[in-house]
Chain A
């Protein structure tokens, strides 16, 4: 049900915040054993949150978010609630503070149902690298959810929350949203504070929203955006009011379609569904513009070099001493650190740290890291040129639909190449939204993405909403 509708029901006392929360907790109890979307369910504290929210509603002081039950990705710090990053390293970590996004939402008496499963340290596109077991797709439990916010996407698709907070470093909100048949919004870099988001790649990370509709993603984004003195990269440019263009006339907009996103490697059924969406906008009256992103071919390599270099630095804080797993093996200081990291990190995290140090180390830095940053500048320029010709760009979200568990997530090269359609958005710091635009012959959701100008989330939300209003979305049946 739409967040605005739930708000109305809560305000009209058609349902209490406790009843609504209990419904979702019952759903989790019944269904999550089949999909493993939550690492931690906060049943008791959620009911307490709901009672507090109901008091606020009863006193006439409810805000847009009071009493709405959401899930939170387990790399977002939550005061007093375990935050594991789906890693053995942080299996017992209890943050002494809330992330800024949680401070904001808690101030509005939102209800947190629990912390969702993910790829370890958000490094992956399958949500199978979690120390707590992989997440299964609500549309077909033999298949992956995508990732890294796979638990968040699955929790929304299976009605285990009203909406979810995720994070997106290279597609980690949009791609699982695509695989799980829901809507995922990655805001502009700097639109939402990263304070309290456990860092993976600081120049690319961004907290995002997953929900059942574009309007709902904008609704929740209204509660978390804005400048934060604790995050020097957060921006004062965001204006909020992200749903203000929903329902407005979008038929005069120009939609760019980049040819490089429709070449070899794209599944035929996905190509057809996404081009049908292009045709939908054309019939609506939108002008369809051919655009080009020539440097797309370099994007995956540049993304992995930059993000891994930043990860190698960010994850050096996990030494077994201050927090996290501490190995009992080893005699000296260095052994303690090396063994703690050996025991605490999974294979993919180790690969990223090794790759990052390769890109940064003497003899390779100029050829790899420096070139990757030049490609980043080039991609930003190409996007700037594209947005002189059009208002939004429409692309597939992923080259495939959800694949079978075990089929490709153990092959890092295959996994990295599958990020081709999402990483440029993070590299350029732009906002993008993914929604379902069709179903393949197996009934699996197909995602398309709408990419916008920096800080113009309103337009992509409105354009996406227009499509969703005419699209026959099928619910997952568990």
Chain B
């Protein structure tokens, strides 16, 4: 059963902050969405052993040194940059 505690847990995992009103709306939306997702639980898995499907990877490229993009271009889209580095709030 979906409830606001589960929504808060998922919000934490998703790293998204919500106001109380937004949380209430999200709980309501997720309750309705999970109701249709429950359909997968009806799928009969007892008939055979299913391999968990994986994406086919083709030829992996050779592990060779290549020049990367210039640092200035990589940091150009960041909002807070100092000495060609991303600035973040103090962590420790």
Contacts and interface: CB of A to CB of B under 8 A. Distances in A.
Interface in B71-85: 73-74, 76-80
24 contacts: A227-B58, A229-B61, A232-B57, A236-B59, A301-B39, A302-B40, A304-B33, A322-B77, A323-B78, A324-B77, A332-B91, A333-B90, A351-B26, A354-B11, A354-B14, A357-B13, A371-B45, A373-B50, A374-B50, A377-B51, A377-B52, A378-B43, A380-B53, A416-B33
Given A234-B58, A333-B88, A351-B33, A375 B43 contact: yes
Contact of A342 (B17, B36, B40): B17
A300 interface: yes
Q: Which of A93, A339, A358 has the most CB of B within 10 A?
A: A358
B39 A297 contact: yes
Interface string B35-69: 11111111101000011110111111100000001
Contacts of B80: 321, 326
Contacts of B30: 351, 354-355, 358
Contacts of A20: none
Contacts of A354: 7, 10-11, 14, 16, 26, 30
B77 to A, nearest CB: 4
9 closest Cβ pairs, A-B complex? A323-B77, A229-B61, A326-B79, A374-B50, A338-B17, A96-B73, A301-B39, A371-B40, A357-B13
A280 interface: no
A285 interface: no
A350 B15 CA distance: 10
A471 interface: no
A252 B9 CA distance: 57
Interface in B16-36: 16-18, 26, 29-30, 32-36
Interface string A328-352: 0011111111110110010000110
A261 to B, nearest CB: 18
B76 A412 contact: no
Given A321-B88, A336-B88, A417-B36, 15 more contacts: A94-B77, A97-B69, A234-B58, A298-B42, A320-B79, A326-B78, A341-B16, A354-B11, A354-B26, A368-B41, A372-B40, A373-B53, A374-B45, A412-B33, A416-B33
B88 A230 contact: no
Nearest to A356: B14
B26 to A, nearest CB: 7
A370 interface: yes
A321 B32 contact: no
A331 B74 CA distance: 26
Contacts of A338: 15-17
Contacts of B34: 355, 358
B16 A413 contact: no
Contacts of B32: 412-413
Interface of B: 6-7, 9-11, 13-18, 26, 29-30, 32-43, 45, 50-53, 55-61, 69, 73-74, 76-80, 86, 88-91
A321 B79 CA distance: 7
Interface of A: 92-94, 96-97, 190, 202-203, 227, 229-230, 232-236, 295, 297-298, 300-302, 304-305, 312, 316, 319-326, 330-339, 341-342, 345, 350-351, 353-355, 357-359, 361, 367-368, 370-378, 380, 412-413, 416-417
A325 B36 CA distance: 33
A336 B50 CA distance: 42
A341 B13 CA distance: 12
A128 to B, nearest CB: 16
B15 A316 contact: yes
A281 B91 CA distance: 66
Contacts of B43: 295, 298, 371, 374-375, 378
A361 B10 CA distance: 9
B10 A227 contact: no
A202 B57 CA distance: 12
B37 A357 contact: no
A337 B37 CA distance: 29
A368 B45 CA distance: 12
A374 B56 CA distance: 16
Kindly name the residue among A230, A345, A353, A354 whose own CB sees the greatest number of chain B CB atoms within 10 A: A354
Contacts of A234: 58
Contacts of A321: 78, 80, 86, 88
Which one of A97, A232, A319 has the highest number of Cβ atoms from chain B below 10 Å of its Cβ? A232
A355 B16 CA distance: 13
B60 to A, nearest CB: 5
A371 B53 CA distance: 10
